[in-house]
Structure 1
Amino acid sequence: MRSYLIVALLAAAGLTHTVSVQAAPREETWMSVTLEGRKIGSMNNLREERDGSVVTTQTLDVRIDRGGIGIGIVTTESVTESADGKPLSFRSASKLSGIETVTQGKIDGDAIKVVSQVGGANQEKTVPWPKGALLVEGLRLVALKRGIAPGTTYKDLAFQPSGLQAIEVSKRIGRRESVDLPGGRRELVRVEQDMAVPGMPISAVSWIDEKYNVQKMVMPLLGMKLEMLACDKACAQAPNQSADLLTNALLKAPRALEPDALKSGLRYTLAPRDKTRKLELPTTDEQRVARNGERIEVTIAAKPAAGGNAKPVAADRAPNAWLQSDAPEIVALAKTATQGAKTDVERMRQLESYVRGYIDDKNLSVGYASALETLKTREGDCTEHALLLAALGRSLGIPTRVVDGLAYTSSFGGADRVFVPHAWVTAWIGDRWQSFDAALNGFDAGHIALGAGDGDPWRFYAGVSTLGNLELQSVEATP
């Protein structure tokens, strides 16, 4: 049940920073964060001028519930730029339930030298700097040139340190509106924004004052309204209220699904709750998707057939910050778990069974742990099972990906016959991708894929876009 999807969306909110016309050497603003009117945290923005450079730091501190289990999420992004807005460096840190991830980058011409630390393990790499991308100060200076005259439209390329990617942000300046804030009613300028996050386009509305400071922002989150309101520090840090996100992400099945059908195949007819948002689900070697107007028909077979997905690439075999498949502990565990196996499918089946028993403390309190962390702690939910299994497979040379989606269960959290947010692994076996689920009793036709990635939590945007916007209209067994 994936907290990291929530973090991904909240990180996208960070693309909207405060922008001040008359920037002082040190400026600080606070915002209260609410979900459907319930306070879940705070956001702090700090801009400082230091020795000819500008340092902007944004800290988001929220607490959400998953099935009654509270999860604390703290993300901090600090970027350094020259006085004229040239990107110099950045540091992004996130902490979920005490598990910290840090990414630091130094921009050197057209490249970024990146150092990532996940669960105490460091990884260094060099990636290209997106041409034309800007950080906070650069975006501020561009905004000043364009102004806020009603009807003004423009696009920016905003670099997001947490995901090491540039996001195109389209803005439309509206008219002044009367807006209620914790400190009272104010006349503010409406700004509509479309953020082209890969796999998850986001539309948000902000209201800014005469100094371009964002005073209010509203954006969707799992079919609910996430709201940020400018206020003083005491207001922003007031006690939080309980807000369970998982409940809204559950997908109700119209009837109980028979074991025989789950082992064979099922066809689902899905429709969007929000008719203005088009449903997009991936085709895989187990999942076929056909569109019928605003509805889509998803046919899932328990056994894969070649041709649904492209062949693996080098990255599907390589270690990364979340799948540390080259770590000696991972390599040793994989060899132990696959003794006697002669084929890749046998190896993956043995790994699937081994991970299911190896993680003996199954709980929802772990935010998002890497494969190496899970190997050491032996605790977690479906994401920890999936990341460890994917890393073990890669250590044996088997290409793997981590899939996020929904999985059927007869009961969860007091609800019967529901699909819950879930994660599992797909591995390249022979000439096709085949799925394995170590958290449940293996893969079956009760698994609906929403997206796939390399285990990096910032890449799972597609799941956020779709969760909370699905309605299951019918389900039938396939011949």
Structure 2
Amino acid sequence: MRQWLAALWMALALSPAPSLVAGTVESVSSDTTWMTVQLAGRRIGHLRIDRVNDGKQVTTTQDLRIEINRNGKTIPMSVLTRSVETLDSQPLGFYSRSMLSTSDSIVDGRRQADGRYAVTTTVAGRASESTLAWPVGALLSDGQRQAMAGAASRSGHYTLSLFDPASQDVATVDIEVLGNERVSLPDGSEVLNHQREVLQTPRGVQRMDLWVNQRGETRKSSLDMLGHPLDLLACSEACALAPVEAIDMLRASMVDSPQGLSVSMRQGGLRYVIHVADGDSQPVISTDEQRVSRLGNGDWLVDVGNAVPGGQAPPTPADTQANAWVQSDAPPIRALAAEASISAEDDQQKILQLRDFVSGYIQPHGRDIGYASALEVVRLRAGDCKAHAVLLAALARAQHIPARVVTGMVYADRYGGSRQVFVPHAWVQAWVHGRWQSFDAALGHFDSAHLALDSGDGDPWHFVNLANLFGQMRIAHVGAAPEQAATAMGGAVATRD
């Protein structure tokens, strides 16, 4: 359920903070802007933006705090970023702190004398160091504001490259200037410049509308999230800090199944026809177990279950390396991996034993801890499907088995008060016997009722566009695949996650 926060964060990243009149070295100028965050017209949180100009540099701090409801439980989440720039928008440093689980994840980048950036990434209290060469032309907050202010005076198109401190990725944004409009805000109306942005992401296209004033400050932004409008609106502090209103994010992210799927159907191959409102975006990925073809008019044909190697490229060195979220080199994880697979004779036996170990290790409680890293899961022994996936991937890599974390959906007869739905889910792909095979530690097995939407290294920021995809998807048909080739899938479907 945390994946969609990344998409909300991108909306924040595309919302420049207030401008300041350049001061002198002796004087400091500062400003604060408040925004209310609304989903489907209901308040889910707020954004505070602080900007300080000391006459030499501009420091922008953006603090996003939201609350969502899942099965009657309120779950707080937050992302704070800070960018430091010269007065002419040259980057000097960046910082991000994300609360996606019980521990903060922190990214701290500081410019060195040679122009490169020393980056410290801390997840679950474990720090790693790296070096970043600044992407050519990439902007931080004040650079974006100045670019949007300059573009507001003319119609037409322009392009920006925006640096996201949390993910350290660069987003390429195509922007169309639509002209001035009078816009209603909680504290009154303002004449603002309407700019429509198209963000290219690895998973497709994200569209967002912004309304900015003459200084390039965003006063309103709007995009689709889970099939509903997500709005950030400038207003007073009292307005922004008003109590949140409950909205069931779990139900909003489900996709209805056109029919019930029996256990025997799930054990064989299944054929899906999936419709997406944005017909240009491929809703699912091709894998060694999932074949995808375009039908046209927003429809996609997806066959799942019959193993056909070649759907994905072989592993790269990164698929066996440790990272901030999959800490496969940490002594506790290495010890658990060795213990859990001690009797295995080959990689196939190892990954099956590791899957069964994770299934028993994580207790069926505490499923609202958020997006935890593998080390956090080892300590907490609790979590949902994402916790099972990151821990299994870490254990597999510790045993030198290439592994990836898959984000997708899985069918459930009953879930969260709903019937016959596909719910967000996560599992692992491991490279075994010359192909990628899926292993689901949360359910204890993998079957053809799993739909893979994306795969990666376990970092939650890879899932930036999936939340919007859930709102666009409709499963128009699901049934037995024409060819019922034998598969290695079996067992009853559970709903532990």
Q: TM bucket by the smaller chain?
A: over 0.9
Match of residue 157, structure 1, among 157, 161, 164: 161
Aligned residue runs from structure 1 range 305-324, under 5 A: 305-324=308-327
User: C-alpha displacement at 1:32, in angstroms?
Assistant: 0.5
Q: Which AA in structure 2 matches 1:12?
A: M
Q: Give the corresponding residue for 2:19.
A: 20
Residues in 2 aligned to 1:152 and 1:290: alpha-carbon distance in whole angstroms:
35
| Range with greater deviation from structure 2 (380-389 or 218-227) | 218-227
Tell whether 2:12 aligns with 1:8: no
Aligned residue runs from structure 1 range 145-224, under 5 A: 146-224=150-228
| Range with greater deviation from structure 2 (388-397 or 125-134) | 125-134
User: C-alpha displacement at 1:464, in angstroms?
Assistant: 2.5
Change (3 A) 1:186 1:269: same
Residues in 2 aligned to 1:360 and 1:340: alpha-carbon distance in whole angstroms:
24
Q: Which AA in structure 2 matches 1:10?
A: L
Residues in 2 aligned to 1:325 and 1:228: alpha-carbon distance in whole angstroms:
39
Tell whether 2:350 aligns with 1:347: yes
Tell whether 2:286 aligns with 1:283: yes
User: C-alpha displacement at 1:98, in angstroms?
Assistant: 3.7
Contact 1:110–1:131 (Cα < 8 Å) also in 2: no
Measured against aligned partners, the alpha-carbon deviations of 1:90-109 in whole angstroms (never above 9, x if no partner) come to 11001135421101112345
Provide structure 1 residue ranges, at least 5 long, that are not aligned to the other structure. Answer: none
Change (3 A) 1:420 1:427: same
Q: Which AA in structure 1 matches 2:457?
A: D
RMSD of the alignment, in Å? 1.7
Aligned residue runs from structure 1 range 24-423, under 5 A: 25-50=29-54, 52-108=56-112, 109=114, 111-144=116-149, 146-272=150-276, 274=277, 278-293=281-296, 294-301=298-305, 304-423=307-426
Q: Which AA in structure 1 matches 2:70?
A: R
Residues in 2 aligned to 1:448 and 1:20: alpha-carbon distance in whole angstroms:
45
Tell whether 2:437 aligns with 1:439: no
Q: Which AA in structure 1 matches 2:14?
A: L
Residues in 2 aligned to 1:197 and 1:143: alpha-carbon distance in whole angstroms:
21
Contact 1:199–1:465 (Cα < 8 Å) also in 2: no
Structure 2 length as normaliser, TM-score? 0.92
User: C-alpha displacement at 1:147, in angstroms?
Assistant: 4.0
Change (3 A) 1:475 1:361: closer
Residues in 2 aligned to 1:289 and 1:400: alpha-carbon distance in whole angstroms:
22
- Percent identity at matched positions? 38
Residues in 2 aligned to 1:54 and 1:474: alpha-carbon distance in whole angstroms:
54
| Range with greater deviation from structure 2 (436-445 or 133-142) | 133-142
Measured against aligned partners, the alpha-carbon deviations of 1:79-132 in whole angstroms (never above 9, x if no partner) come to 111222111111100113542110111234563321111011111112332111
Contact 1:21–1:211 (Cα < 8 Å) also in 2: no
Measured against aligned partners, the alpha-carbon deviations of 1:370-401 in whole angstroms (never above 9, x if no partner) come to 00000010000000000000000000000000
Residues in 2 aligned to 1:84 and 1:469: alpha-carbon distance in whole angstroms:
40
| Range with greater deviation from structure 2 (19-28 or 258-267) | 19-28
User: C-alpha displacement at 1:209, in angstroms?
Assistant: 2.3
| Range with greater deviation from structure 2 (102-111 or 452-461) | 102-111
Change (3 A) 1:218 1:161: same
User: C-alpha displacement at 1:20, in angstroms?
Assistant: 2.7
Match of residue 467, structure 1, among 459, 462, 470: 470
Provide structure 2 residue ranges, at least 5 long, that are not aligned to the other structure. Answer: 24-28, 485-497
- What SS class does the counterpart of residue 416 from structure 1 fall into? strand
Contact 2:393–2:405 (Cα < 8 Å) also in 1: yes
- How many residue pairs get matched? 474
Contact 1:63–1:71 (Cα < 8 Å) also in 2: yes
Change (3 A) 1:380 1:160: same
Residues in 1 aligned to 2:472 and 2:408: alpha-carbon distance in whole angstroms:
13
User: C-alpha displacement at 1:197, in angstroms?
Assistant: 2.8
Contact 2:211–2:219 (Cα < 8 Å) also in 1: yes
Residues in 1 aligned to 2:441 and 2:124: alpha-carbon distance in whole angstroms:
22
Change (3 A) 1:185 1:139: closer
